[in-house]
Chain A
């Protein structure tokens, strides 16, 4: 548990003395279903994400990564446990938490008939960013992500999946979140787009005071981006540490071996067994 003082109710500003932990989740449980068919998607997960770090949450499809991200995003209310984002409770201080976070999900979630710029200006407005500022900032981020100037006014449905995902990342950074939740941001991207997005995420973390919680089922991505890695299996956090710590702890030469030892299954096999992400 963190030791920061509780912020005042209704206060939506980040705490003056921001806590060392960006995310504190204690005993978080979320189950779905009913009539005797309840399934625990997240099972008593406790984790701390330090301010300024990239924390990689590694797990197969159906391991509970996206459910946990949704709990942190205030989109799901946990059945049990406590979640604080920079000291603010996701349940009782929902609006304050929302102001501190942004999320990129595996599906880009845009108004596809609107252009990239229209979507970004709209998103900026929702976070109190003036349209002029949003346009200027969005242009800069999109340029950096390799999206040509002449494409930003095209309807998003005409952009490739990779470009849409880059726009989603631009949207998240546009609002300067203190905590960025990246839920499988590179799934479905070609190798080049994947590399560009990964470089951008790393660069932005280095340049800004952002904490990033990244979910992935890509071992290479976790290794490449994350300062620390947590392995989620069947809703439970079964291992946690830096890549080197995990390899040392499990006596493994590669992260893939760590995953297999910690979960008893290979990541690819688990993905096939579980089907789509939850």
Chain B
């Protein structure tokens, strides 16, 4: 009934369907997250628009437009990747809160299928949120995308998804390991990644030790590459120096994250931490 790739896809789809149904039932909260996303992204974008007023100097319109696009790419890309990281790293904490974790872990679904299903559901959510946010911002701020290479930008975003899925799965294991503090730890990881990845500024401005951390963050390469693609029309070949490090982190982090999760799951089953909610 559930054998083969088709069967596993069917099992994974159960989680997509469940998450869509939950989004409909928690629609008011979804509206909150969308509005919050639009408002924060718009606020950041207005910093760019206000650059001449803030600096007190003369900044030509082209430079302002470039600055606005610079900030916009950072904020949208970060929101997209952040949703993926948040949703995946909260897989355990969320089910604990709902009280369904034991039922999910008792079901005959391989952990890989379970997590892939959750990743697919997360991807759908992140795409919907990002498209709505982008559309809303376009209504308020004129964005110059005349030189943009959309294909390159999308390719980088896809690479970013891989890397953040791996990172999210690894952090999802934290609440299994430390029921009281695990989720908080994953939020700290996300905050540090935000700081060192050059979301709103080039990583060159970071002090040396933080700059070293930025090299480890996949978001550094993804966002820098997306800026080159959307602001300067860079093609895939010229973006390879940004693609390969992010891709390598993704290719390594997914199996490592899964291995860590499975190991920690066994630890939780040995120590009775599966159900504890802190």
Do these two chains really belong together in a complex? Answer: yes
Residues of B within 8 A of A129 (CB): 1
Query: Do the beta carbons of B108 and A113 come within 8 Å of each other?
Result: no
Query: Do the beta carbons of A109 and B108 come within 8 Å of each other?
Result: no
Query: Do the beta carbons of A95 and B108 come within 8 Å of each other?
Result: yes
The one of A77, A102, A122 that contacts B270, using a Cβ cutoff of 8 Å: A77
Identify the closest chain B residue to A128 (Cβ): B1
Task: Write the nearest CB–CB distance from B6 to chain A, whole angstroms.
Answer: 11
Residues of A within 8 A of B25 (CB): 113-114, 155
- Does residue B109 face the partner (Cβ distance < 8 Å to A)? yes
- Does residue B205 face the partner (Cβ distance < 8 Å to A)? no
Question: Across the A-B interface, how many residue pairs have beta carbons closer than 8 Å?
Answer: 89
The one of A110, A123, A128 that contacts B2, using a Cβ cutoff of 8 Å: A128
Query: Do the beta carbons of B100 and A109 come within 8 Å of each other?
Result: yes
Residues of B within 8 A of A102 (CB): 106
The proximity string for A residues 31-43 relative to B, scoring 1 for CB distances below 8 Å and 0 otherwise, is 0100000000000
Query: Do the beta carbons of A76 and B272 come within 8 Å of each other?
Result: yes
A175 vs B229: C-alpha distance in the bound complex, in angstroms?
Answer: 51
Bin chain A's interface residue count: 20 to 34
Task: Write the nearest CB–CB distance from B167 to chain A, whole angstroms.
Answer: 26
Task: Write the nearest CB–CB distance from A105 to chain B, whole angstroms.
Answer: 7
The one of B11, B26, B110, B272 that contacts A113, using a Cβ cutoff of 8 Å: B26
Residues of A within 8 A of B244 (CB): none
Query: Do the beta carbons of A122 and B106 come within 8 Å of each other?
Result: no
Bin chain B's interface residue count: 20 to 34
- Does residue B14 face the partner (Cβ distance < 8 Å to A)? yes
Query: Do the beta carbons of A73 and B17 come within 8 Å of each other?
Result: no
The one of B7, B98, B108, B274 that contacts A99, using a Cβ cutoff of 8 Å: B108
Task: Write the nearest CB–CB distance from A239 to chain B, whole angstroms.
Answer: 26
The proximity string for B residues 1-27 relative to A, scoring 1 for CB distances below 8 Å and 0 otherwise, is 111000100110110011001100110
The one of B14, B108, B272 that contacts A122, using a Cβ cutoff of 8 Å: B14
Query: Do the beta carbons of B108 and A111 come within 8 Å of each other?
Result: no
Identify the closest chain B residue to A78 (Cβ): B270
Could you give 5 example pairs across A and B, Cβ below 8 Å? A75-B275, A107-B99, A109-B100, A113-B25, A122-B17
- A contacts, CB < 8 Å to B: 12, 32, 70, 73-77, 79, 95, 98-99, 101-103, 105, 107-114, 118, 122-123, 125-129, 155
- B contacts, CB < 8 Å to A: 1-3, 7, 10-11, 13-14, 17-18, 21-22, 25-26, 98-100, 102-110, 266, 269-272, 274-275
